[in-house]
Structure 1
Amino acid sequence: MLKWASSTDPIVKSIFEESTRSSTYLSPAIQNELIKIMAEQIKRQIAEKIKGQAFALMADENRDNGGHEQLSIVIRRVVNADNHKYIIQKYFIGLIRLHEFDAQTLSNEIVNYLTNYGAKLDSYIAQCYDGASVMSGKCSGVQAILRQNHMPNGIHIHCHVHRLNLVIVDVSKVIQYISEFYQIVSKIHSYFVSSSVTNEYYQTA
């Protein structure tokens, strides 16, 4: 990363040229520390932007390559630009590692994470999740817990992208040639990733 930065930033380039072999800042520990510092700077900038603003919360569970469940947190706000034009801005603010998956635990994790940003929870005007009952349950889902206890103005919205995905999945099951198309694509993918020989052939083709 620093080598790439040195190709465009004269200050970074001069550091490389003038540093000794024992202080190149390329060790894994230094790299991780630099990434952590940059992340904190970005967090502070986002926290400053959302201070005193009305915004929406978007969250979704996902699993990384290591099989660990995480909760991605995104906040969204509308900015009044020049000439009465409104711009939607989204900020990905982080991933929360999950060890328990009930609605109360997820709610606590979200509240703690957002509170650390210094955001006022009563400034949230919307919550957007997929249709899973643990997130969107009317009585005991995350959206209900947050609205009852932390975000009185945070109306729940079922993610439109998730709705579209559900429609596409149902359509692909009903229309035969679409179903066959996805089956063929899936088999092609499995063929190339299941064997190191075929995968290497694909990479070099």
Structure 2
Amino acid sequence: MQLTVCIATYFKMKAFIKVEVMQSTQTKLEYKIRLKASIEVVKLLLNQGLAFRGYREDESSLNKGNFLEILLWYAERCDKIRDLVLKKAPKNDQLTSHKIHKDIIIACKIETVKAIMNDLNGDLFTLLVDESYDVSRKEQLAIVMQYVNRCRSVMEYFIGIVHVRNTTALCLKKAIVDYLAQYSLSLSYVRRQCYDGASNMQGALRGLKTLIQQESKSA
């Protein structure tokens, strides 16, 4: 009798575990579909240079911003995601928050720069730097790279923004060196320099150019 009860309990637990595994697998699949939908919308907005957020994003808003409106448009036309995104998704797993946007944008940036560096293939390049302020009035450098790739095409890409503590030539140089080092590049790869910035920055930029030429005579 006891053996029969044990066997019955075993099969009940086995069936329960099987259901749990199936539900877990389905949950993971639905999560991946939601994530892919959010990634596709983010990529579209990045490619078009469009803003993500709306002034109001609540249910009563007639225009919830580009991200939510495009995701809704996408869901209405794609059966695969229609029942899995926005209001149909679990409230704590919709993958539409501003933090999710930022995480996906950072991932896109990493993959984009990685592709640029693969195209550069450790070759020589021109360094283009523009100085500006961000919205909080912090100094920043926009770094652009120009090079000739293996197909002999001239390529020019923005590769990143670096915040700097001050605008002395030494500080600007360190910021550029540290940024290039992330991609195993150094100033010895630079063959030309081009700078743009406010008039009060021209002295620092001239000093920066001299410092770089001390390490790369051909720059």
- How high is the TM-score relative to the length of structure 2? 0.57
Q: Which has the higher strand share?
A: 1
Output one character per residue of 1:132-155: Cα deviation in whole Å (capped at 9) or x when no partner: 12112xxxx111111213x2321x
Q: Look up the match of 2:112.
A: 42
* Conserved 8 A contact 1:47-1:119: no
User: Are residue 31 (structure 1) and residue 31 (structure 2) matched?
Assistant: no
Pair 1:120–1:54, CA change in 2 (3 A): same
Q: Which moved more, 1:122-131 or 1:109-118?
A: 122-131
User: Are residue 133 (structure 1) and residue 203 (structure 2) matched?
Assistant: yes
Aligned counterparts, 1:4-15, within 5 A: 4=70, 7=73, 14-15=80-81
Runs of 4+ in 1 over 6 A off after TM superposition: none
Q: Which amino acid is 1:124 matched to?
A: V
| d(CA) in 2 for partners of 1:96, 1:48 | 21
Q: Which amino acid is 2:142 matched to?
A: S
SS of corresponding position for 1:89:
strand
Q: Look up the match of 2:187.
A: 121
Pair 1:91–1:9, CA change in 2 (3 A): farther
Q: Look up the match of 2:90.
A: 21
Q: CA deviation at 1:16?
A: 5.6
Q: How many corresponding residue pairs? A: 145
Structure 2, gaps ≥5 residues long: 1-41, 43-66
* Conserved 8 A contact 1:50-1:119: no
Aligned counterparts, 1:89-168, within 5 A: 89-130=155-196, 132-136=202-206, 141-149=207-215, 151-154=216-219
Q: CA deviation at 1:87?
A: 3.2
Structure 1, gaps ≥5 residues long: 155-205
| d(CA) in 2 for partners of 1:13, 1:33 | 26
Q: CA deviation at 1:55?
A: 0.9
Computed over aligned residues only, the root mean square deviation of the Cα atoms, in angstroms, reads 2.8
| d(CA) in 2 for partners of 1:106, 1:16 | 49
Output one character per residue of 1:164-189: Cα deviation in whole Å (capped at 9) or x when no partner: xxxxxxxxxxxxxxxxxxxxxxxxxx
| d(CA) in 1 for partners of 2:73, 2:185 | 38
| d(CA) in 1 for partners of 2:82, 2:115 | 28
Q: Look up the match of 2:145.
A: 75
Q: CA deviation at 1:70?
A: 0.9
Larger radius of gyration: 2
SS of corresponding position for 1:65:
coil
| d(CA) in 1 for partners of 2:80, 2:127 | 42
Percent of aligned pairs with the same amino acid: 24
| d(CA) in 1 for partners of 2:168, 2:186 | 24
